[in-house]
Amino acid sequence: MTSLLVVSDSHVHNATLQGIFQAHPDISICLHCGDIQDDPASLKIETLYLVQGNTDVPTMPKELIIEIDHYQILIVHGHEQVVEDGLDDLVAYGKTKNVDLICYGHTHHPMVAKRDDLTILNPGSVAFPRGGKVFVPTYAIVDLGDDLTIHFYHAKTHACVDDLVLGSPTKKKKKSFFSFLKR
């Protein structure tokens, strides 16, 4: 099973990103959903997939499709799919790309949803949370196994905050909040 760090909207807070990487030394792959606004070369992680956000330099790719453990993953920022108005355009776009998981940012609001065969994930912002009831900086960890499992974490304390994002209490024992049936 491969685990992925999924972050977004760090807006010049590379030190926060580095703290996240240090808190999870066993995870070597990070997906950044845009608005880094900083030089990614200073980040110390084995593999970084990074897309352009609406405040980034235009030399970054606008989207990436990667395959990890037989999962097709689309990484976008989301502003071009107008995610602030809902997920319909993003879902329609993801379906044209034939992917299993869409990771996006832009809204700074952590969420996860399932639409048909697509899982849609916004890890929130590691620097500037906004929207909804979650006003803490967040990121997500995705475990790619037979089941797709997602947990949300506080970007400063690295504590699991699934209960804040999802509105349901978490147990002391780490239990998957969002696990899908075997593929």
pLDDT of 172 reads 42
pLDDT tier, 170 (very low <50, low <70, confident <90, very high otherwise): very low
pLDDT tier, 168 (very low <50, low <70, confident <90, very high otherwise): low
Using H for helix, E for strand and C for coil, what is the string for 94-128? HHHHCCCEEECCCCCCCEEEEECCEEEEECCCCCC
Reported as a single tens digit per residue, the pLDDT across 39-95 is 777 787 889 999 999 998 889 999 999 999 999 999 999 998 988 899 999 999 999
Smallest CA-to-CA distance from 183 within 30, 69, 106, 34 is with 69
pLDDT of 132 reads 66
Give residue 3's Cα distance to chain centre: 12
Q: Is the pLDDT of residue 171 over 60?
A: no
Reported as a single tens digit per residue, the pLDDT across 116-150 is 999 999 999 999 988 666 789 999 999 999 889 99
Mean pLDDT for 101-105 is 97
Q: Is the pLDDT of residue 29 over 80?
A: yes
CATH of region 2-179, choose from 3.20.20.100, 3.60.21.10, 1.20.930.40, 1.10.1580.10: 3.60.21.10
SS3 156: coil
Q: Domain ranges in the chain?
A: 2-179
